[in-house]
Structure 1
Amino acid sequence: MYRIHMNFYGFPCAGRRLLLAFSGLCLAASLSAPYASAQNDAAAKPATDKAAAPDKVDLPPLPPDAHTEQSIQIDGKTLRYTVTVGTLPVRNTEGKLTGQVVYTAYTAEGPNRPVTFAVNGGPGASSVYLNFGAIGPKHLQVGNEGDSPSDPATLSDNPGTWLDFTDLVFIDPIGTGFSRSLVPQAEAKKIFYSTTPDIDYLSRAIYDWLVKNDRLASRKYLVGESYGGFRGPRITYYLQSQLGVAMNGVVLVSPYLNPTLEDDGDLSPIPWMVTLPSITAAHLEREHKLTPDAMQSVIAYTMGDYATALLKGRSDPATTQAMIQHVTEMTGLEPEFVKLSGGRLETQAYLREVFREEGKIGSIYDSNVTAFDPFPYAPEQRSNDPILASIIAPTTTAMVDFVTRVVGWKIDARYNALSYEVANDWDRGDDLRRGSVVQLREAVSADPKLRVLIVHGWNDLSCPFMGSLLTINQMPVMGDPTRVAVKEYPGGHMFYSRESSRVDLRKDVMEMYRQH
């Protein structure tokens, strides 16, 4: 399992790392074995008669759409808005109902308001993280050092919300939140839990919401986080080229964008270049020295002398020794640890090493968020990620209470903030390994007015900012060079858990929206 790590909700991101238990709102290591076992069991069983197999799953109907009115104070002004929890049907090419997508929409009165669609990642994650964590009008305090899963799941007004300049529609993919498949599991795996079908039906859900709400003429935006950042360019291009709906802008939050950056760390310097700046950023933050200027020096060294030293390898021992010494100074790690790693800092080894003296382990999403290591003498990490271990309970409690009690969408089904079943069933074929850079380039090329903002937390080792920076630096300039931009903020994968970063993100996104 060396060199494989699953991102914020489920797939490998750049850099050498180990498979964690549901690392990054993602898969448990143990899920790989049951998935393979299920495939083997299926292959061993005789084929069943199609006529005897059920063609649908009988479930009680979902409630009709529900609405409630709320308000929030933003910049000294009162904004009144409507919350809607509703459903969108998913049908196959024959018109058969195969699933139901549940969404949460926040809409306000006003002329020419744009609409922004939001989707998280995993796959297997609902949209509650972007909703209550980042951009919705209500905020839940989770994901920071010291936060506890048993803290009250109390919602407060969000000063970082985008609602004053855009309506917001949070979409839960099938199998997440209350969204559900209406076909047997084997069929659901084919039509929902795979790269291409996932993009197709989610794009159609956006189209259907626009038609249902008479919003096709509105300016339209998309925000995706982590694997939702993988979805973002593909959905944008599919809507643009297949369904005839053009996005005005896309925001990719800590995106899983370019999977092959992690390849061949024995030869290529890139996997180590991707993670070193985020490890250094975490150290600078602990020293109260993290600034954009300091990080520019780190980035310059990483793309210059560090990459050169790795490429030279044993042919230049003096350069290698100088690199190891510099990496030791940058990261604050023990010299012997850096020396024995050859200056190549494997993520999971780092997360155990950096807080070992305290008996703690750092989170892959923000290494400065820690938990006690319950198995400190094991050869590799056996516990869940510190952030993951603390956020599922409060996000689930907060969302179920909001939907059922506040909005009044009465349902007794289970809410999946993060679905192990979806993660286990997902098809990890070649199409996923191709990433979404091709679709990003094509969408930007086709629309000279499309703007893309890629945002990261400095400390994220799940989907490090350096991966996006290297990727975008290799894109051709198509018109205005600022149309595709990368920005970083203090924090980790969910940097928006910090109010200052969340508010700064709001300002940067608002500026992008104003350019249309």
Structure 2
Amino acid sequence: MNLKTFSAISAAALCLAAAPVLADDHNETPAAAPSAEITPQVKSRELSGTYGGVRVPYTATIGETILTDDDGKQEAVIVTTSYVKSPRDTSRPVFFIYNGGPGSGSVWLQMGAWGPKRVAIPSDARDDGAPPYPLVDNPESLLDVADLVFIDPPGTGFSYLTKGTDPKKYYGLRQDARAVAEVIRRWINDNGRWNSPKYLGGESYGTTRTAMVVDELEGGTYNDVGLNGLILVSTILDFAAREPTPGNEMAYIVTLPNMAAAAFYHGKVQAPSVEAIAEEARQFAIGPFAAALLKGQDLPAAERAAVRDEMARLTGLSPAYLEQANLRVTSQRFYKELLRDRGLTIGRLDARYTGTDYDNAGETPDSDPSFYGIDAGYTATINEWARAGLGFETTREYNSIGREPGRNWDWTLPSQGRNAYLNVAPYIGRAMRQNSQLRVFNAQGWYDFATPFFGAEYSLNRMGIPQDRVTYEYYDAGHMMYIRDEDRAKLSADLREFIRAR
């Protein structure tokens, strides 16, 4: 989810009318007043709902965790929202969840996939329109099999750095992981959950964060928090699969199967199924296509023509266009070119979505229709649920996508050497080798160009990652597959099976 913040408080009465009756707050701590010392705000309410076909009473708690420096100075206020079955059962699994960005709040997975409430937006790749956006019960929530803790790292959601805190201390691969790991340890300790089964996971950059956090929890000297599973949604671990730079051919290779899937969805190519066209494209991408790109200017004319024509068959692009692009089509160009004859562009986060640009002559789209088609509804309902539903008091805006983390992010890892491209997958491999029961669940949408499914497969198939403990599942949507009703149900069913299989 890579930005706008939208409020729909006017819709609160309508949307909450169908919500369960709320009990009195357990903790009526007021919002922190401006002062040298911030008193953390914590609000809890007793609720119940039916999830996975099981009636579950639970305690919903939204609260602030304050991180300090070595001298005790308050530096970061991190908000978590937890849903814990009542009465508390320390043998139950607990699942720690965040989103990506960097800079993205947990709203997407909380209000879209696994929280007890969700926003009901169109499931068929249509725009979410204008408020009010329905806030409804979410029977696909995982509360029947695990307690849920949603974490908003600094600069996301309602979480923030205090005045005078250097952003470089929190905005970065390692810095962010240390902060999130500390919040997890604090929550475990405060809630007496040291011996509970534990799962960790996120979406998009949240999968990168997962690799870093597991290294903090299991890869350090103390190795103090053992984990049962890592849950990766729309995975990006090896950043060679990002938009290409001159000389980096890998991005073209891992995105070609996405192009084939999108072309199939929009009727530009024919195949028995998206699975079938994706597999054809995988084999072509890692075989003849990769070989052709690696030969560079030594590629023979006959081989070039054969590769070009097969690429045209798989992607729906014309041989002439592919020739002009030197067989190397960036994702941005593809979004514009695939449906140019219809006057439409396709989405980056979800290629099922289409948009109309100012004109049809450009090289790349004006914007991403799969983002502006969903963002307002999510931001409106998380504000409504946190404030009116759970009683959180703040004048701060909820940052669904915070700009500050991205502007200040430190993408370097000294351990990987100078000018090395970023790859955090080895941290997952090391954790799995050192923890014989740690398993990985990887969820990918066929129509996701932000984190291509073939790129995820490539990064998780490298040496050092035990393949017998990695589960791959695929969905007929994009980056946020849970937007589609059928895939939200499938994702939750797949995860129930994964968690119960421990």
TM-score bucket of the superposed structures, by smaller chain = 0.7 to 0.9
Q: Is the 8 A contact 1:229 1:256 kept in 2?
A: yes
Q: Report whether the alignment pairs 1:88 with 2:96.
A: no
Aligned to 2:227: 247
CA shift, 1:514, in A, is 2.0
Q: Report whether the alignment pairs 1:493 with 2:479.
A: yes
Give the stretch that moved more between structures: 419-428 or 82-91: 419-428
Question: How much is the aligned-residue C-alpha RMSD, in angstroms?
Answer: 2.5
Aligned to 1:219: 197
Match of 1:73 among 25, 36, 50: 50
Match of 2:351 among 363, 367, 384: 367
> Per-residue CA shift, 1:107-155, capped at 9, x if unaligned?
1136421100001111111000111112222222348521234143212
Aligned to 2:28: none
Q: Is the 8 A contact 1:149 1:392 kept in 2?
A: no
Q: Distance in 1 between matches of 2:411 and 2:291?
A: 34
What pairs with 1:30-429 in structure 2 (closer than 5 Å)?
Answer: 64-109=41-86, 111=89, 112-142=91-121, 145-184=125-164, 187-242=165-220, 244-262=224-242, 266-267=246-247, 269-287=249-267, 289-313=272-296, 314-381=298-365, 383-429=366-412
CA shift, 1:262, in A, is 4.5
Give the stretch that moved more between structures: 270-279 or 385-394: 385-394
Q: Report whether the alignment pairs 1:434 with 2:412.
A: no
Aligned CA distance change for structure 1 residues 485 and 68 (closer, same or farther; 3 Å) = same
CA shift, 1:503, in A, is 1.8
Q: Report whether the alignment pairs 1:474 with 2:459.
A: no
Q: Is the 8 A contact 1:236 1:246 kept in 2?
A: no
Aligned CA distance change for structure 1 residues 58 and 278 (closer, same or farther; 3 Å) = farther
Aligned to 1:444: 432
Q: Distance in 2 between matches of 1:338 and 1:501?
A: 33
Aligned to 2:30: none
Give the stretch that moved more between structures: 174-183 or 332-341: 332-341
Q: Distance in 2 between matches of 1:76 and 1:429?
A: 45
Gap regions ≥5 residues in structure 1: 1-7, 10-21, 24-56
Aligned-partner residue type, residue 189 of structure 2: V
Aligned to 2:490: 504
Q: Distance in 1 between matches of 2:244 and 2:52?
A: 49
Aligned CA distance change for structure 1 residues 60 and 356 (closer, same or farther; 3 Å) = farther
CA shift, 1:347, in A, is 0.6
Q: Distance in 2 between matches of 1:249 and 1:393?
A: 32
CA shift, 1:60, in A, is 9.4
Aligned CA distance change for structure 1 residues 268 and 435 (closer, same or farther; 3 Å) = closer
Q: Distance in 1 between matches of 2:156 and 2:245?
A: 34
Aligned CA distance change for structure 1 residues 374 and 128 (closer, same or farther; 3 Å) = same
Aligned-partner residue type, residue 412 of structure 1: T
Aligned-partner residue type, residue 351 of structure 1: Y
Q: Distance in 2 between matches of 1:134 and 1:222?
A: 15
Give the stretch that moved more between structures: 430-439 or 404-413: 430-439
Q: Distance in 1 between matches of 2:406 and 2:465?
A: 36
Aligned CA distance change for structure 1 residues 339 and 58 (closer, same or farther; 3 Å) = farther
Gap regions ≥5 residues in structure 2: 5-33
Q: Distance in 1 between matches of 2:66 and 2:463?
A: 37
> Per-residue CA shift, 1:320-339, capped at 9, x if unaligned?
11111111111222332223
Aligned-partner residue type, residue 80 of structure 1: P
Q: Distance in 1 between matches of 2:101 and 2:354?
A: 22
CA shift, 1:268, in A, is 5.2
Q: Distance in 1 between matches of 2:226 and 2:95?
A: 12
Match of 1:465 among 453, 458, 471: 453
Q: Secondary structure at the match of 2:219?
A: helix
Q: Distance in 2 between matches of 1:150 and 1:367?
A: 22
TM normalised by structure 1 equals 0.83
Q: Is the 8 A contact 1:281 1:290 kept in 2?
A: no
> Per-residue CA shift, 1:38-85, capped at 9, x if unaligned?
xxxxxxxxxxxxxxxxxxx85895673112233322344322222111
Aligned CA distance change for structure 1 residues 76 and 444 (closer, same or farther; 3 Å) = closer
Q: Distance in 2 between matches of 1:393 and 1:253?
A: 22
Q: Secondary structure at the match of 2:109?
A: helix
Aligned CA distance change for structure 1 residues 457 and 513 (closer, same or farther; 3 Å) = same
Aligned-partner residue type, residue 141 of structure 1: A
Aligned CA distance change for structure 1 residues 400 and 272 (closer, same or farther; 3 Å) = same
Q: Is the 8 A contact 2:336 2:363 kept in 1?
A: no
Q: Is the 8 A contact 2:244 2:330 kept in 1?
A: no
Aligned CA distance change for structure 1 residues 198 and 356 (closer, same or farther; 3 Å) = same
Q: Distance in 2 between matches of 1:417 and 1:331?
A: 33
Aligned to 1:46: none
Give the stretch that moved more between structures: 113-122 or 388-397: 388-397
> Per-residue CA shift, 1:319-366, capped at 9, x if unaligned?
211111111111222332223223322111110112223333221111
Q: Is the 8 A contact 1:365 1:492 kept in 2?
A: yes
Q: Distance in 2 between matches of 1:132 and 1:263?
A: 29
Q: Distance in 1 between matches of 2:129 and 2:243?
A: 36
Aligned pair count reads 459
Q: Distance in 1 between matches of 2:53 and 2:244?
A: 53
Give the stretch that moved more between structures: 282-291 or 262-271: 262-271
Aligned-partner residue type, residue 67 of structure 2: V
Q: Distance in 1 between matches of 2:243 and 2:450?
A: 15
Aligned-partner residue type, residue 199 of structure 1: A
CA shift, 1:391, in A, is 3.0
Q: Is the 8 A contact 2:52 2:142 kept in 1?
A: no
Q: Distance in 2 between matches of 1:97 and 1:76?
A: 43
Q: Distance in 2 between matches of 1:58 and 1:175?
A: 20
Aligned CA distance change for structure 1 residues 142 and 259 (closer, same or farther; 3 Å) = farther
CA shift, 1:439, in A, is 1.0
Q: Is the 8 A contact 1:189 1:427 kept in 2?
A: no
Aligned CA distance change for structure 1 residues 423 and 320 (closer, same or farther; 3 Å) = same
